[in-house]
Homo-oligomer: A and B are copies of this chain.
């Protein structure tokens, strides 16, 4: 083995330090390879003193160490999968795979922290130099040879802390610490894309208004409520003398923003398994997907409001306005990019090529947004939604399966990876600041913030909704405000200051608590709130009404701009962009015949007949093709049209369809019984699953 080391080391001359880039396939991870590796010192002696060999050996040993470190995570995931398989087999629902991943992560964290001690080697050399700015690259002249060094981080601004760090930092713990950008650039994108791609579209669009209200208005409310409460807490702490560093109001707002991103993955998994009401599912899922995007942009706007340079942390109207403008700019930019790339794919016949193209387009959306200075994660979310809406229809059935399965797998791996890393981080992160007062304050603030989001908004929404959101649904939504991957990724991104370190530690505890306690109590909560389970989503669309059978029109829900958009989308965009939808020859006036024929794909004509059956999963399109036959059109060939036309066009048909299936609401008041005893795994409904 020792000789094997030598071989492989000798091959690497250009690449003296492999920097722990060790990865494969879908999870590529950059382990922090800090200093040199202690274990190589024994082998160094037996060789000649040649410096090259030493360097190569060190690189080789470091590479092997990285492999071993990454292996820890892979084995953690493997263990999680095996245990989850057992749980699913036995139908234990009190612990979701993410919760389990955290527990295993915790255990390994404890072992790494207290079990293994690896002394930090004294290989760091302190150079004093007189340059006045920190260069990105430093060339060090060591006895005639030049070594290129790249800047890794600023350690601290005072010389005293440097020694502390050297003493305290355990080498092993540093090794299992990932670069925080890994979460944002590698692990989050597939999770967010998958969320967008798997939005259950019919129910999502029907509850669009409410979802947008919860996601946008609700997140902003929650952010400010939590921010204010935390500011109160922090002020109190300062009075008592508990605060060990600066903590500005913007920090409080930032904390509010990051803990406002909900992630009810545990709850939704149980909802899906028990087939809980599809509208409740859509409300929760839609909110959690969109509020991630809002929280990302909001938190970055808050940071922009407080530039690192000037120390003015007072309130300033101008900066607030600027932040708001930036929020809109980044959000709409990311949205536009996501939409633009999402509708681009129109390829058939070769499944592998289709799938590969689909994958690459999604990825390039992320990169394009990042390259433009927008938020890649947000762009990827809307790219996912758009691709589910348009591109999905262009794919062959095999590719539809393939893409779903691919992103499902990536999502699964990335999510469990993040959660197991969270468990690990509780013990391996070096700069935890656990402050009991802050923690208690944060838990209270999170609770109040969630309540201030759900209850007042539900009250307002119920004024406009025919389908009222009942109080048991509201309680369930309140309860399902778990925090997860996005909150963690946002809080670990910057842990340089005292305030951020305290936030990070507290955030970890909030995630643990909500995932284990709220996630674990979902079935109990469902049964306690008397929410029906086992609802076939295609048959029943009730919003949990008990006021007896009632014919409900959802006209109220479909506001005018949504109607216009829907009609335009269905009659023009879909036929142009996809192979599905009605042929343009039917929706455009006869005078535009040649143009229409040119723009419509041959498949659209073939598909025309089977539209009634095929499209039931897509937005409301199951019945709409009854409408496009008798349209009176007042557009000209250039495609310009009046809003009045569109809204008048098929409002009856749309309305009729929106109320489709709502004619009979049967509330059987099923109480949930925990079904622990039946042994068959549930049949998966592909529409719900993906």
Contacts and interface: CB of A to CB of B under 8 A. Distances in A.
B308 A52 contact: yes
Contacts of A128: 140-141
A468 interface: no
A357 B326 CA distance: 43
Given A11-B300, A150-B17, A371-B68, A25 B359 contact: yes
Contacts of A84: 353
B3 A326 contact: yes
Copies of this chain per assembly: 2
Nearest to A304: B7
B15 A179 contact: yes
Nearest to A357: B81
A532 interface: no
A138 B139 CA distance: 11
A189 B25 contact: yes
A133 B82 CA distance: 47
Given A129-B142, A179-B19, A304-B7, A14 B153 contact: yes
Interface in A20-39: 21-26, 28, 30, 33-36
B24 A363 contact: yes
A11 B19 CA distance: 23
Among A141, A151, A303, the one with the most B-chain Cβ atoms within 10 Å of its Cβ is A151
A154 B143 contact: no
A671 interface: no
B135 A123 contact: yes
Contacts of A139: 124-127, 155, 162
B304 A3 contact: yes
Which one of A74, A301, A329 has the highest number of Cβ atoms from chain B below 10 Å of its Cβ? A74
A638 interface: no
Contact of A36 (B5, B22, B137): B137
Interface string A625-645: 000000000000000000000
B63 A16 contact: no
Interface in A366-424: 366-368, 370-376, 402, 405-406, 408-410, 412-413
A138 B303 CA distance: 31
Interface string A261-287: 000000000000000000000000000
A352 B35 CA distance: 39
A41 interface: no
Nearest to A680: B349
A54 B373 CA distance: 17
A464 interface: no
Interface stretch (A204-212, A489-497, A522-530, A648-656): A489-497
Given A24-B185, A162-B146, A137 B35 contact: yes
Interface in A68-91: 68, 70-71, 74-75, 77-78, 81-82, 84-85, 88-89
B140 A129 contact: yes
A189 B23 CA distance: 10
A133 B124 contact: no
B147 A8 contact: no
A402 to B, nearest CB: 5
Most B C-beta atoms less than 10 A away, residue of A22, A58, A62, A408: A22
A360 B4 CA distance: 25
Contacts of A10: 303-304, 306-308
Interface stretch (A43-51, A111-119, A220-228, A233-241): A43-51
A74 B15 CA distance: 25
Nearest to A684: B351
Contacts of A565: none
Given A55-B154, A78-B361, A81-B353, A64 B373 contact: yes
A539 interface: no
Contact of A28 (B23, B136, B137, B493): B23
A540 interface: no
Contacts of A495: 14
A182 interface: yes
Given A55-B154, A139-B162, A493-B12, A372 B24 contact: no
A30 B25 contact: no
A391 to B, nearest CB: 14
A60 to B, nearest CB: 8
B4 A74 contact: no
A186 interface: yes
Contact of A129 (B11, B141, B182): B141
Contact of A13 (B3, B308, B376): B308
Contacts of A350: 85, 88, 681
A6 interface: yes
Contacts of A58: 136
A131 interface: yes
A548 interface: no
Nearest to A306: B10
Contacts of A140: 126-129, 134, 138
A85 B124 contact: no
A138 B150 contact: no
A68 B58 CA distance: 33
A600 to B, nearest CB: 20
A366 B495 CA distance: 33
A53 interface: yes
A594 to B, nearest CB: 25
B12 A494 contact: yes
18 contacts: A4-B330, A6-B307, A15-B181, A16-B153, A17-B151, A21-B185, A25-B190, A25-B359, A28-B186, A64-B371, A84-B353, A123-B136, A124-B138, A126-B139, A138-B149, A145-B155, A352-B409, A402-B409
Given A134-B145, A141-B159, A149-B149, 12 more contacts: A12-B181, A15-B179, A21-B179, A24-B366, A55-B134, A123-B135, A126-B139, A129-B140, A147-B153, A148-B155, A355-B405, A356-B413
Q: What 3 pairs across the A-B complex have the smallest Cβ distances?
A: A28-B28, A149-B149, A13-B496
